[in-house]
Chain A
Amino acid sequence: MIHSLFLINCSGDIFLEKHWKSVVSQSVCDYFFEAQEKAIDVENVPPVISTPHHYLISIYRDKIFFVSVIQTEVPPLFVIEFLHRVADTFQDYFGECSETAIKDNVVIVYELLEEMLDNGFPLATESNILKELIKPPTILRSVVNSITGSSNVGDTLPTGQLSNIPWRRAGVKYTNNEAYFDVIEEIDAIIDKSGSTVFAEIQGVIDSCIKLSGMPDLSLSFMNPRLLDDVSFHPCIRFKRWESERVLSFIPPDGNFRLISYRVSSQNLVAIPVYVKHMISFKENTSSGRFDVTIGPKQNMGKTVEGVVMTVHMPKAVLNMNLTATQGSYTFDPVTKVLTWDVGKITPQKLPNLKGMVNLQSGAPKPEENPSLNIQFKIQQLAISGLKVNRLDMYGEKYKPFKGVKYITKAGKFQVRT
């Protein structure tokens, strides 16, 4: 299956290589560099590249290309999904999945990669098992290690691999038993010029942080599970219980994990929490234009819309922008032509507005299309779909855990066409 893995940074340096079968020369990456050059933008590098003797399947995460070398037929998604799992594991272990983090922890990275694949076939990808095998680095531990010479490799044999519940490590013990659930919903929307919604849907996830001793068996129920149209589950969830009773019943992994992700049925109308008034125009002869955008709250169930940021990819002909913002601050990068306006919180009394002149390259034809506005925002303590957790029951253990739930609504791919 997966033959080798190369990690390549943005400037084209191969900073890590790992082979699970015979060694494949680094020169195979030249095909990748070629494709990268052709694609211009990193986003456009084809995920699958065919070379005379190998196939290269790559992902781009956090400014790093993960390029895997394949020799025979394999489902491409299998490899892609695995590579993302590798990146997630790095993120989980080092707090970030960056070149420096990987270089600083190269031994742990190597040990991880060794455990995750055997002869190119995934072996242990569950974070709970990996953490039993290889302890994540912490400052304290690295100090202790350097003094005592003890190691990161767990000295108890990992039993998780053997159990029926491979996602949960054995012998978990906490003094404070807590279970937190974050219901995070993102609104994907395309709003057209006139302000009407072309397309909108709600995508949600429930991220959990479970710190419970022993082998708790949890069941989480919703007030309105009917809302969830399409759900994908962490493997710990008992599918049959969900099918029959719409209850999430599971023995959780220890620590942070994504319990479910869901889509709210498209029949439901999506409440769009903000509206945008815009007036963007370019004049042909004076090589200038006007830019005027106002953002206001709408249907936000009495909660404050905060963390509002607007990014606009301006046309190439734009040289500079002279704007005034009534709230927050804006930046315009003349190289990438990206305008970013960090608005902050919206108060309905005084609507934030960004207004001013756009300078165009003289002589260049006026841009045909107005740029679309990408909006980000956040609303605390609200799940826009109305999803509500009803209760959490725990069986199998005797203590009384502390249970908490948090709701957040965010903008996902929220785009306003102008």
Chain B
Amino acid sequence: MSLPPVQKLLRQLPVGPTGWPKPPEDGGVAEEVTSPVLATEAGQPTCYSALRADEHDDLKEMLDSNKDSLKLEAMKRIVAMIARGKNASDLFPAVVKNVACKNIEVKKLVYVYLVRYAEEQQDLALLSISTFQRGLKDPNQLIRASALRVLSSIRVPIIVPIMMLAIKEAASDMSPYVRKTAAHAIPKLYSLDSDQKDQLIEVIEKLLADKTTLVAGSVVMAFEEVCPERIDLIHKNYRKLCNLLIDVEEWGQVVIINMLTRYARTQFLSPNQNESLLEENTEKAFYGSEEEDGKDAKAEAAMLAKCKPYVMDPDHRLLLRNTKPLLQSRNAAVVMAVAQLYFHLAPKAEVGVIAKALVRLLRSHRSVQYVVLQNVATMSIKRRGMFEPYLKSFYIRSTDPTQIKILKLEVLTNLANETNISTILREFQTYIRSMDKDFVAATIQAIGRCATNIGKVRDTCLNGLVQLLSNRDELVVAESVVVIKKLLQMQPAQHSEIIKHMAKLTDNIQVPMARASILWLIGEYCEHVPKIAPDVLRKMAKSFTNEEDIVKLQVINLAAKLYLTNSKQSKLLTQYVLNLAKYDQNYDIRDRARFIRQLIVPTEKSGALNKYAKKLFLAQKPAPILESSFKDRDHFQLGSLSHLLNAKAVGYQELPDWPDEAPDPSVRNVEVPAGLSCAPTEPESGSEENGSSSSSGSSSSGTEEDEEEEEDSGEQSEDKEEEEVEKRPKRKDKEGSHKAVLGSAGRYALGRQGGAPSKNSASGALSSPCCLLVQLLSPAFSAVKTYELLHRMAGEGLAVEYCFSRRPFPGDPHMVAVQIQISNNTDTEVKNLRVNEPKPLSGMRIQEFPEIGMHLAPGDTASVVMGIDFCDSTQAANFQLCTHTRQFYVSIQPPVGELMAPVFMSENEFKKEQGEWGQGWIKGAAQKCQSDHTIVQQLTSAANVGRVPCGASNEYRFAAKTVTSGSLVLITLERREGSTAQLTINSEKMVIGTMLPGIAVPMALLSHPFCPMLLLKTLPCPCFCRVIPCPNLKRGGPSGQLCCWVEGAGWGIWDAGRCPAVPAPTEHSVPPVPHHHLPM
């Protein structure tokens, strides 16, 4: 690329921090005089400008001095001037030469100045460019980034080529932070010169492929500003963006979610397409009862089941699943972004989750409330059911600002249905007495809307409104009149009394709209009030000249209608009114009068229309439909500025309609180089590897199942999420070790197939060939639970997980084999991974794994096996995990079940051993145990035991021995009549006995009504208290209540931190606490 003018110019300049050209004193002044800014201020009084110039001379002197402190002081004063909006542009030459100043603060302030005035002093600004160009080559990433940031902020068109070059270079920088800055620079360059678009798109494409969270948000922002129409650039990055989303900074999340919403609308099918037909009906029965809705839902479900043509694209599901946790963000913008994504993309049944989060935002600042309520108002029209449980959160306080009150009222009205209308009306009654009259008027309108939409309460509302007619406040009365008019139009015949009452109001009420409404009512229903109508006309004729225009029009209208129905009494009056109107100042009224006279008064000239006058005037008029002003606003993307303004804002990207046919989903498939966080989730079942071709079918049906299940009770879903958490790391292992290249079959299988994960799939995956140094031991049991040794955050990018492979450790039979999975999420290589300084407790031994000599490249995963002799205790083994740069303290704590190895024995041997001990150590009764299969599975997953064949059909036996001492452990599970079961455990050693309840708990308390532990399926009971020893509480049950076994006391609930066997919680001595903080 050639950039002759600038480079030439720059070459001519002597560069270097000390080599700044020192312009002659008067040269600077000359510059000042020619500066365009000063020229504009020439009109000011001379003394003022002289004074100002003096002041600036002072500053210039300071800037020219050698002392940093003086320079700093000067710059501070200049920045203060800029902040106040005062012009400081004449100081440009003096300031710009300090751009290479050593003092960081001076430099930063110079940057502030430069960015502000460079546009006005383009030639001089060029002087600074070389400094930034040098900065771009600095070895320190932060300096490179800052140089690019300022360089790109200088809005001088002549440096566009330099900027372009700098951006391109920075986009392939080693440091993600510099790449982020490059992404930020893209829209700046684009706004300076939109001709660069094609080249910029290339850079965007490159940066979109970036795998770091730091870049993702910024580049999507650049994409949105430069080329939002190039949706094709997203395909390959879609899954990565979804997976990265949760770790991207908040602002980036908002931009990405909004963009993905649009993307999803072009790529996937509507999840509600089957309901669209039914939706028509719902639309009609919009304010219908709850049951109807329920029926609809059922019908929909039935229909879904019948035709089932719709299968959600797994990528669509991925997006929904990965955004859901962000509903719990502290940032209102993120929550709103997810809410709109769900509203626009999720199946109807799943949208409900966003309501809770949106209601939470109502506690926030007023301006947040305002925006959220606007969106809730739109949503509540389409999806009323979802906000109904939060009805009371929209109740209005007298301290709310009026605009918030009115929006809340809108939501309340939208939510009104037959079941809650009485509550809402009672609430409205309170509002009517408010001191805020605008709000009262809005409330009356709201009552009117409820009355038209819900037939049941129409009469109640009408009566209430009629009572308001005697209100002292005229505005209230007027608003009521207008609303009553609309209501009466629906059933006029029954309400002639009300019409009469309103006719009397014309004497008092002055609000034009109300007067006009009354007159229209009397005219329209004059046959119901034959006596009063002519009298009203008489009064109005009298005051005609003083009325407002809308009232005059209605008087003419009334006169015409009376003339047609009751010409005998009103002929003269009509003539009189028409004559008055003929000479009115307003031409609308004159026109109307002329038109009506021709129409109703038969003359020779009047044509055929005259015959139809009565039909024209007294035709049946349809009742007005009172609609929310938020109806149909959802064609704007929710949460957007355009939605809020209800008008298209500049740069708004239309939310496309769902396509009829889904575009090819394979465009999103990516060849995955062994990535980690960026790689799409692989199917959890190994069906692909096993060569099953029906994978996509089975996985998608799983998805359906998943969805349906999710609607179930909360407890179950929680339960499931747990399962999912357990499974996720497993998937990750596979990605790492396989370096799988995903073809079109490599899609996500999200649902669980059947109840239990198939054994061979998991073990198959793990035992497949590994290219690592250590020969891996494949776990013997399928449902291996993975524990976290070092979190990615704590490990500064290094994540370590471990699991118990349940295979004997090769070197030493007394050791438990622990398989460790290390993944490198950093950007640099990790070398020399090793275990250091094992500090085992007495007797405990650790067999380290051999140092991983090879480098663990960014994104790679390695597995190693180490052996630990835990001495049959659940004490944690502590050691250090070292890399070439860092060391981390970690500990492995074995669950009791992992301290055993299965023993295979015959039934007779088992009985013999058991007989030697006599009574079992522990017995627990389980009620309502489910299928036998579940029990066995649960036991085997909690403990590494071997099954012993058994003659009796209602008994299950297991045997194991402890790894270190080899003590036998026998477990008998006997199913009793009904659905209870008894569990007996025999153990050789007391120490084992104390630990065994740990295994027994989830078993024996299976479906115990109080036991929240059941949700944590494979957990050993946290409290191993035999007599008391204070429970080792590593994990709590979800509600803080824990079940435990206490010898001599039986099963108990460990509630609120109190063990049933312990009288009071143990006091720990703590130093005195300041600030009323109680020690924990």
| A-to-B contact residues, CB < 8 Å | 1, 14-19, 21-23, 26, 41, 43-44, 46-48, 50, 55, 58-61, 70-78, 80-82, 84, 106-107, 109-111, 114, 118-119, 121-123, 125, 148-149, 151-155, 157-158, 161-166, 180-181, 188, 190, 192, 198-199, 201, 203, 215, 217, 221-226, 229-235, 238-240, 243-247, 249, 251, 258, 261, 263, 266, 313, 315-316, 365, 367-369, 371-372, 374, 380-381, 388-392, 395-396, 398, 402-407, 413, 415, 417
Contacts and interface: CB of A to CB of B under 8 A. Distances in A.
Nearest to A404: B1077
A157 B144 CA distance: 12
Given A119-B152, A371-B435, A390-B1033, 13 more contacts: A18-B83, A109-B83, A110-B83, A111-B112, A119-B187, A121-B218, A161-B142, A164-B797, A166-B249, A244-B722, A247-B1036, A368-B471, A404-B1079
B177 interface: yes
Interface in B709-728: 718, 721-722, 725
B433 A368 contact: yes
A393 B1077 CA distance: 17
Given A80-B367, A121-B221, A396-B889, A391 B1080 contact: yes
B652 A413 contact: no
A368 B436 CA distance: 12
B368 interface: yes
Nearest to B247: A164
Contact of A16 (B84, B176, B430): B84
B641 A226 contact: no
A402 B116 contact: no
Nearest to B642: A73
A107 B73 CA distance: 10
Nearest 6 pairs of A and B residues by beta carbon: A404-B1077, A149-B69, A72-B651, A151-B105, A43-B401, A226-B1039
A413 B397 contact: yes
Interface stretch (B229-237, B310-318, B332-340, B609-617): B332-340
B649 A121 contact: no
Q: Which residue among B330, B337, B389, B401 has the maximum number of chain A CB atoms within 10 Å of its CB?
A: B330
Nearest to B390: A266
Contacts of B793: 164-165, 217, 238, 251
A41 B438 CA distance: 13
B330 A258 contact: yes
Interface size class of B (residues with CB under 8 A): 35 or more
A238 B328 CA distance: 12
A149 to B, nearest CB: 3
A81 B1075 contact: no
A43 B366 contact: yes
Contact of B1075 (A106, A246, A367, A406): A406
A346 B366 CA distance: 32
B109 A107 contact: yes
B637 to A, nearest CB: 9
Given A106-B79, A230-B356, A55 B641 contact: yes
A223 B1078 contact: no
Nearest to A414: B397
Given A81-B332, A118-B184, A391-B1033, A402 B398 contact: no
A77 B337 CA distance: 9
Contacts of A239: 246, 325, 328
Interface of B: 67-69, 72, 76, 79-80, 82-85, 103-106, 108-109, 111-112, 116, 119, 140-143, 149, 152-153, 155, 175-177, 181, 184-185, 187-188, 191, 214, 218, 221, 246, 249-251, 254, 258, 325, 328-333, 335-337, 356-357, 359-360, 363, 365-368, 370-372, 389, 392-393, 395, 397-399, 401-403, 427, 430, 433-435, 471-473, 639-642, 644-645, 647, 649-653, 718, 721-722, 725, 791-794, 796-797, 825, 888-889, 1016, 1033, 1035-1036, 1038-1041, 1056-1057, 1070-1071, 1073-1080
Contacts of B1057: 223, 388, 390
Nearest to B653: A73
B126 to A, nearest CB: 18
A47 B367 contact: yes
B715 to A, nearest CB: 10
A235 B328 contact: no
Given A16-B83, A114-B112, A225-B1038, A121 B105 contact: no
A398 B108 CA distance: 39
A229 B389 CA distance: 14
Contacts of A162: 141-142, 175-177, 214
A151 B796 contact: no
A232 B434 CA distance: 34
Contacts of B1035: 245, 247
Contact of B105 (A153, A198, A398): A153
A240 B725 contact: yes
B225 to A, nearest CB: 8
Interface centre among B335, B359, B721, B794 (most CB of A within 10 A): B794
Contacts of A235: 249-250, 329-330
A417 B430 contact: yes
Contacts of B435: 313, 315-316, 367, 369, 371
Contacts of B645: 48, 50, 55
26 contacts: A14-B85, A17-B84, A43-B402, A48-B644, A58-B367, A59-B365, A60-B367, A75-B258, A106-B84, A119-B152, A121-B218, A121-B221, A153-B105, A158-B142, A162-B214, A163-B796, A165-B793, A190-B397, A201-B393, A230-B360, A245-B1016, A245-B1035, A313-B398, A380-B1076, A402-B1070, A405-B1080
Residue of A151, A192, A203, A398 with most chain B CB atoms under a 10 A cut-off: A151
A164 B367 contact: no
A246 B644 contact: no
Contact of A15 (B84, B153, B649, B1075): B84
Contacts of B363: 188, 203
B1041 to A, nearest CB: 8
Nearest to A237: B328
A322 B251 CA distance: 54
Contacts of B794: 215, 217, 251, 395-396
